[in-house]
Amino acid sequence: MSDSESTPDKTKPAAKSKKAPLISPAAGVGVGVAIGSAAIVAALLYANRSKKADKKA
């Protein structure tokens, strides 16, 4: 047996993972809080707008 047979072929490129990079849990929580806050603000603005329309009528 020769040395070339016992060692792996080094000319092949390393296999790369095709997975997308994951968001860290802390970043995921921050994104969730931001989306939730935006939803609350939008709901409050919508509710306030409908009250102003009632007064004009």
Closest C-alpha among 31, 13, 9 to residue 22: 31
- Contact indicator for 31, 23 with CB cutoff of 8 Å: yes
pLDDT mean over 35-56: 83
Structure confidence at residue 29 (pLDDT): 87
Average pLDDT over the chain, rounded to whole? 75
Instruction: Tell me whether residue 42 is exposed, middle or buried, using C-beta atoms within 10 angstroms of its C-beta: 0 to 12, 13 to 18, 19 or more.
Output: exposed
pTM listed for this prediction: 0.46
Q: Residue 24: which region, alpha, beta or left (left: phi > 0; alpha: psi -120 to 50)?
A: beta
